[in-house]
Structure 1
Amino acid sequence: MSTSPKPAKRKRSTINVPVSPPPLRRKVQSTTTSSAVSSFFTPTSKKPPEKVNWQERAPNDNTPNSLLVGKYNPADGSKSGFDAGDGARKKIAAFDFDSTLIQTSSGKKFVFDSQDWKWWHPSVPGRLRKLYLEEGYKIVVISNQGGLSLKQDTKAPKSLQSKVGSFKTKVSAIFNQLDLPLSIYASTEKDIYRKPRTGMWTKLLDDYNIQAADLDLEHSIFVGDAGGRHAEAGKPKDFSCSDRNFAENIGIKFHTPEEFFLGESPRPFMRTFEPTDYVPDTTAEVSSPFTKKNDLDVVVFCGSPGAGKSTFYWRFLEPLGYARVNQDILKTRDKCIKVAGEYLSEGKSVAVGTFPGSPSIPYANVLSHTDNTNADAEVRAKWVELAKKYSVPIRCVHFTADAKICEHNDAVRALNKTMNPEQRSILSSLAFRGFASRYQQPKLNEGFQDILEIAFKFTGSEEEKVIWTRHWI
């Protein structure tokens, strides 16, 4: 049997052979950095402070937090804009956030994640640095962030809960690139903080310890993309005029991003609602538009929530002895009809509508039940039947204010103490849409003796006029 030696193993050539280990043995590369590991095991007391300090604020002690405030501390340790050392800066350069300082890098309308951003224009960071370092401005960001929620709801979807964290991460990255003393105010609800309302501005003045009289309003500015601009030369129209209205409310100059960063000429714009159009030119006493024609009758009020029904009742019908029948108080229509019948039996004329509070309350209570507003002929027919039962005439007062005026009145009433002694909450837009969906214009052939149409005009003191003529919606 042959025992010839085994052939020697041929050495494997290393020419053109990958040096990586076989796929099955290849080490999985970790995305965890050594600095992250070091930070994890570093005691909290020895970690560097976060550059952005976050706080949550509430409109008052009885409401949940709805304002997110972030204050950035620069890497060089300079004082933030809230500290006394920065008190010499009396000019404020305020900016909207999305579509003004930044835009999505994905091209989508709404941000995809915390990394989905880029500067609105390459000139933005340099212009902001110049404002702070050379021109002596405080820099603040004032933004409506309706997609966020600060409500402590453990049942809320994780996707909703994570949005606040993603927003903070994005803000931190942006502020780190600028590395200036900056602050951001982000409104998350439709309350006093939401632009064009001035709650965020009032809060930042408090934080900066600036008295309104000391602020350089003439040179302060607000830059935002919601300027109410018309569509022009392929450019779409603005989604609203809230940024321009916000600047007007606080009395500072307004610029769009194109005007401020690119030097473009202003484009034509239009406001969908101008409060001053509804303030009478004269302060002369207005004579009553309502005349009592019958010894005993029923008067039905028809109009949207916020149309001025309450004001009209207290000014013109209550002094004439009309008893009010208010479903907002009595709760059901059947109860209202019963009480109205009792008043008529006692020889008292009846006004049917929504008349809360007292004569000192200048705006109508806004209802969640469209029955209370007598919007359609079917509801009004119940009152016509009642008048026939008691053999008395029935009249209609028709309030013609459109939806914008009514929403404005509701916001004014709900969001300031001076004109809201009962602390009523702001209505959902559903209340106004509900009225509009059921509304049928009153007609004489429904059985009315007459129909008196009332267009809305503001009435009130000079103090109330200043409040009412701001932009609220």
Structure 2
Amino acid sequence: MVPPRGRAGSPARRKRPAPDNDPLISPPPLKRKAQSAISKTAVANFFTPTSQKPKDRTTWTERSPNQESKDTPATLLVAKYLPEEKEVDKAKQPSKRRKIAVFDLDSTLIATATGKRHAGDAADWKWWHHSVPGRLRQLYNDEGYQVVIFTNQGGLTLHPDPKSKPPKSLQNRVASFKQKCSVVFSQLDLPITLYAATGKDIYRKPRPGMWIEMEGDYDLAESDIDHESCIFIGDAGGRVAGLGGVPKDFSCSDRNLADNIGIRFQTPEEFFLGEKPREFARDFDPKTIPFAEQDDNDGVVFEKKNERDMVLFVGNPGAGKSTFFWKHLEPLGYERINQDVLKRFDKCFKAAADLLKDGESVVIGNNTNPDPSIRAQWIELASKHKVPVRCVWFKTPMQLCEHNDAVRSLNKLLNPESRQSLPKLAFNGFGSRFKEPKLKEGYQDILEVEFRFRGTREEYEIWSQYWI
């Protein structure tokens, strides 16, 4: 019989039993307890029936700036937190509160725990100051205020374009924001409503959309509200840079919204810490342009000098070109070439040529015509039809144009042509290309028009609010 063989062909050897005191033999290894990242609380919560789990007392809804149209996507995110009702609380608190305390969220009630400008995740937050929750409870419980939050959240997109897939970093921002807010509310445990504006429409501060929604949610008319006692607290107060490297505020939108509403404004440092107000300045203030009673020519003299001619408007979008046309040129029989209607330059050019051929006078009125190369094409067309060209130059500053555009697009009373708001690029594009018109380009004359509000007292009350 051939004995069994081990490694390398050597005969296999039986292992002898080791004596108990053999120092060469190691004891059997100890069994280690498996480490788990799952906490006991998480395990318990997993096995807890849904009916016994703590209820999230925050409800979320979405709203659209155009409630009449189902095609307009929602841009306002609304959260309402209601603590567990107690009979004592219900008896103590009034059904309708006339005093409103409005707070911004970021850098006013909370800050990032990491110190970064924007929160990394739902857990990256802390109270802006340790006194914040106690002061808010005092406002609600002892002083009879309704506490609400107005926050611009341009980094959130409620309904992304289905044709384009957003980056993964943006996909979960709404869920993370909701999670963070729910935790903040539960720690406060006060009846509170948050309004988060995610678009650049009527809801975005300093525009009044969130205040109007709040009035509807709490069944408040303007006459119901104690405006003298109301207050808005936010960090966007337009404060200028201070000593010791204190930076200026990134915006004045919170202060401007408070002004639009007609209530007091304070910064978080003033309200929570009792600091003295700092100097502030607005980049643009429409109230510096006064209302003036309108006369027949509105401060501008435009006379028809020729039997037929072309009038070329030059000016930024929102400079007042349409208003000027309807008031001064349309009554004189001019036909307007409207690029907002015709869309393309070639269509505008053909329409103007047809009108001139038919013996009409035309206004190139909705085109901005920023530089000589663009204007030269119109001048050449006029020369071909043997008519003179006159220029009207609207010398309206860019920020004022942006303001006019926002007022027009967001208020039906001041938007008879139903114009949509323009992107920032439209204004910057004109500014980068603009060259002052000169007589040597071929004009019969150049009329320079300084901006002046042209409208009724009612329209001025809307126009003179802060919209950008």
CA distance, structure 2, for counterparts of residue 329 and residue 6 of structure 1: 100
| Alpha-carbon spacing, 1:383–1:168, altered in 2? closer, same or farther (3 Å) | same
More displaced, 195-204 or 103-112?
103-112
Q: Which residue of 2 aligns with 1:51?
A: 57
For residue 111 of structure 2, the aligned residue among 100, 103, 107 is 103
Deviation at 1:243, TM superposition (A): 0.4
Aligned partner of residue 441 in structure 1, secondary structure: coil
Q: Residue 164 and residue 21 in structure 1: after superposition, are their counterparts in 2 closer, same or farther (change >3 A)?
A: farther
Question: In the alignment, is residue 330 of structure 1 matched against residue 342 of structure 2?
Answer: yes
Q: Following the alignment from structure 1 to structure 2, what is the Cα–Cα distance between the partners of residues 284 and 339?
A: 34
Give the Å deviation of 1:133: 1.4
Match in the other structure for 2:425:
430
State which drifts further: 138-147 or 462-471. 462-471
Contact 1:80 1:86 in 2 (8 A): no
Q: How does 1:50-449 map to 2 (within 5 A)?
A: 50-61=56-67, 62=69, 63-75=72-84, 77=86, 86-153=94-161, 155-233=165-243, 234-285=245-296, 286-354=298-366, 372-449=367-444
Secondary structure of 1:108's counterpart equals coil
**Is the alpha carbon distance of 1:6 and 1:446 closer, same or farther for their aligned partners in structure 2, counting shifts above 3 Å?**
closer
C-alpha contact 2:56 2:182 (8 A) present in aligned 1: no
Q: Whole-Å Cα distance in 2 between the matches of residues 64 and 39 of structure 1?
A: 37
What is the distance in 1 between the residues matched to 2:361 and 2:89? 65
Q: What SS does the aligned partner of 1:373 have?
A: coil
Residue 146 of structure 1: CA displacement?
0.6
| Residues 74 and 294 of structure 1: CA distance in aligned 2, closer, same or farther (over 3 Å) | same
Q: 1:423 to 1:352 in 2, by over 3 A?
A: closer
Residues in 2 aligned to 1:397 and 1:127: alpha-carbon distance in whole angstroms: 57
Separation in structure 1 between the aligned mates of residue 118 and residue 109 of structure 2, nearest angstrom: 15
1:28 matched to 2:35? The reply is yes
State how far apart, in whole Å, the 2-side matches of 1:103 and 1:337 are.
Answer: 55
Q: Which stretch shifts more, 280-289 or 174-183?
A: 280-289
Letter in 2 for 1:248: D
CA-to-partner distance for each residue in 1:327-371, whole Å, 9 max, x for gaps?
3333333333333233223332211121xxxxxxxxxxxxxxxxx
Alignment deviations for residues 403-429 of structure 1 (CA, whole Å, 9 cap, x no partner) = 111111111111123223454322111
**1:418 aligns to what SS in structure 2?**
helix
Q: Which residue of 2 aligns with 1:15?
A: none
2:11 matched residue in structure 1? none
Per the alignment, in what secondary structure is the counterpart of residue 100 of structure 2? strand
Distance 1:427 1:335 in 2: 21
Kept in 2, the 8 Å contact 1:73–1:80? The answer is: no
The one-letter code matched in structure 1 to 2:34 is: K
Q: What amino acid sits opposite 1:238 in the alignment?
A: D
Letter in 2 for 1:373: T
How much does 1:161 deviate?
2.2
Q: Over residues 174-207 of structure 1, what are the superposed CA-to-partner deviations in whole Å (9 max), with x where a residue is unaligned?
A: 1122111111111100011000001001101111
* Segment of structure 1 superposing worse, 430-439 or 133-142: 430-439
Residue ranges of structure 2 left out of the alignment (5+ in a row): 1-16, 24-28
Cα deviation digits, residues 201-251 of structure 1 (max 9, x gap): 110111111111011110000000011111011210011110000000000
Q: Is the 8 A contact 1:87 1:208 kept in 2?
A: no
**Identity within the alignment, %:** 55
Question: Which AA in structure 2 matches 1:347?
Answer: G
Quick one: structure 1 residues 437 and 252, their matched pair in 2 at CA, closer, same or farther if it must change by over 3 Å? same
Secondary structure at the residue paired with 1:324? Answer: strand
Partner of 1:363: none
Paired residue secondary structure (1:396): strand
Name the aligned partner's letter for residue 265 of structure 2.
Answer: F
Deviation per CA, 1:347-402, whole angstroms, max 9, x where unpaired?
A: 32211121xxxxxxxxxxxxxxxxx2111110100111122222222111011111
Paired letter, 1:223: I
Q: Is the 8 A contact 2:325 2:365 kept in 1?
A: no
